[in-house]
Amino acid sequence: MKSIKLLSLVTALCLVFTLAGCSSGGSSTDTTGGPTYEKGTLCSKDAPLTATDGKLTLTLDPATCAVSITENASGRVWSSNPDTSYEDSYAAGANKTGIFSQLMVTYGKATALVTTNSYASSIRKDTYNIYSIDGGFRVEYTFNEGFTVPVAYTVKDGSFYASILYSGITEDEFKISTISLLPYFGTAGEQDDGFLFVPDGSGAVINFNNGKLGASAYTKKVYGKDETLPNDIESSREEKIYIPVIGMKKNSGAFIARAISAGAESTVNASINGVGSGFNTVYFDAIYRETQNISVMNGSLGTAGLVLYAAKHPSPAEEFTVEYTFLQGENHTIGSMATALRDKLIKEESLVKTSDTASLYVDLYGGINKQKSFAGLQYTGVEPLTTFTQAQQLLDRLTDAGELTVGVKQYSESFFGGKTQTDLKPAKAVGGKKGLAKLQAYAEEKGIDLFLFTDYYKFYSTGNGFSRFFSITKELDLGAADILPKKINTNF
């Protein structure tokens, strides 16, 4: 079985370009090459701190750094954590203090990843400071493990923003891997009614308190798995997350939360009451640094062990920010959450209406590689699936379907040879140059948008100036990032 190699990022980019109550000390912003966020002014820890934008009121408890957001119009309050007097019968170990934490931090220690939380390792030890900034507050959590994580909580234009300020993180011996941001926001317990929204595929709902305690908590990487890292065991074929957005409907209120900065480097998590804690939770894990565990064999002892590899450099982003938008009215559904998200994207001009006519999108696959035989000899040949002539015949039947956009995949000689594609030369088996030219002329005549797809980063054969040994992406242990097809029933 051939393994697919990943083209190194630099090489791929070159190829693409070739083809186409606080003290009054004043506030300041660091412009000396260090952190770029607003420093603010140091606050007292004696009384609750508040900030408002007219629509929302942000309250921060200086004793615990718990955050609450009040919707001024309805009086509805959303809290980041329960009161510290709350006793959780489901929580055990680190989760006992985790429910009072705004951050859960996973870091590398020896050969393993270890998780700590802001309440146990910073708040209770009084190794944190609070600063007043424009629209809210910045909390610097200094953990007894030797790292400091600054987080900004602000309200603006009717939304609440929580930001992990990457540019201000400091580390000592231990290197941070992931940071869970406000994992208990909403504090939805067994007495509450509602659901969690996760962006699985086109969107999915997890009902509060559904009793499925034997099911694992939901966790999935935004935009899919990092293919340069070893894949986990695949027991099913799953949909990807295409938008970094989550939501919660709790009793009569609801919110959606969107990762608007560094969302591509995050994971969506959700769990119900009884799984890890007594709360129904949905939140983001920010991936600050990639890590990878490798199992190695000790030849002399004949035993296996684990080696933890961590990326030398953390995320290049300056911050990881989540925007919370609170829905107006009552009786919310997944539909009203989708509407709120759509309205946000339209307002930001991230979503633009292009036509009043519905469009039909069609992907056509030219062919596949298949084991064949000739005169008793085995060889790998191209098996056509949709030739260019057949594609034209198919599209001729769809001309009454309205606006038509067609993508052609798996058609080039480079693709079938397993090489990095450096041109658009089609394989003879699917129609060759003349067949493609006729299809393009037909599409232009009929007003059909025709696109030829290329894959610049996966290949398994040396050729076209790129080597399967040197022009490749490597894993954290510097081994080649291979992608092997897997069967669900065996994971091999």
Question: What pLDDT, on the 0 to 100 scale, is given for residue 266?
Answer: 96
Tokens representing 313?
């450099």
Question: What pLDDT, on the 0 to 100 scale, is given for residue 234?
Answer: 60
DSSP 297-334: EETTTTEEEEEEEE-SS--S-S-EEEEEEEPPSSS--H
CB 130 within 8 A of CB 63: no
Q: Which of 126-135, 182-191, 286-295, 472-481 has the lowest mean pLDDT?
A: 472-481
Question: What pLDDT, on the 0 to 100 scale, is given for residue 255?
Answer: 97
Per domain, the residue ranges of the chain are 31-347, 359-483
Q: 355-378, pLDDT tens digit by residue? A: 677 788 999 999 998 988 888 889
Mean pLDDT over residues 272-292, rounded? 92
Question: What is the Cα–Cα distance from 471 to 8, expressed in whole angstroms?
Answer: 6
CB 8 within 8 A of CB 136: no
- Residue 297 pLDDT grade (very low, low, confident, very high; cuts 50, 70, 90): low
Question: What is the Cα–Cα distance from 86 to 14, expressed in whole angstroms?
Answer: 57
Question: What pLDDT, on the 0 to 100 scale, is given for residue 13?
Answer: 35
Mean pLDDT over residues 176-197, rounded? 95
Question: What pLDDT, on the 0 to 100 scale, is given for residue 8?
Answer: 46
Question: What pLDDT, on the 0 to 100 scale, is given for residue 19?
Answer: 32
Q: Which of 10-24, 84-98, 240-254 has the lowest mean pLDDT?
A: 10-24
The residues, ordered by sequence, that sit 6+ positions from 110 with a Cβ below 8 Å of its Cβ are 308
Sheet hosting strand 204-207, strand order edge to edge: 41-42, 128-133, 136-142, 148-156, 159-164, 320-326, 253-261, 245-250, 194-198, 204-207
- Residue 112 pLDDT grade (very low, low, confident, very high; cuts 50, 70, 90): confident
Question: What is the Cα–Cα distance from 142 to 131, expressed in whole angstroms?
Answer: 14
Average pLDDT value for the chain: 85
> Regarding predicted confidence, which is higher, 89 or 76?
76
pLDDT above 90 (res 298):
no
- Residue 86 pLDDT grade (very low, low, confident, very high; cuts 50, 70, 90): confident
pLDDT above 50 (res 291):
yes
Question: What pLDDT, on the 0 to 100 scale, is given for residue 61?
Answer: 97
Tokens representing 33?
């090459």
- Residue 302 pLDDT grade (very low, low, confident, very high; cuts 50, 70, 90): low
The most confident of the ranges 93-97, 243-247, 287-291, 300-304 is 243-247
Question: What pLDDT, on the 0 to 100 scale, is given for residue 29?
Answer: 41
Q: Which of 15-19, 130-134, 217-221, 445-449 has the lowest mean pLDDT?
A: 15-19
Has this prediction a pTM greater than 0.85? no
| CATH number for region 31-347 | 2.70.98
CB 277 within 8 A of CB 269: no
- Residue 353 pLDDT grade (very low, low, confident, very high; cuts 50, 70, 90): confident
Question: What pLDDT, on the 0 to 100 scale, is given for residue 478?
Answer: 66
Residue type, 450: L
CB 279 within 8 A of CB 87: no
Question: What pLDDT, on the 0 to 100 scale, is given for residue 84?
Answer: 85
Question: What is the Cα–Cα distance from 9 to 7, expressed in whole angstroms?
Answer: 6
The residues, ordered by sequence, that sit 6+ positions from 261 with a Cβ below 8 Å of its Cβ are 163, 317, 318, 319, 320, 321
- Residue 260 pLDDT grade (very low, low, confident, very high; cuts 50, 70, 90): very high
Long-range Cβ contact pairs of 204-212 (< 8 A, separation 24 or more):
205/334, 206/270, 206/272, 206/280, 206/282, 207/272, 208/250, 208/272, 208/273, 208/280, 209/272, 209/273, 209/274, 209/280, 210/272, 211/274, 212/272
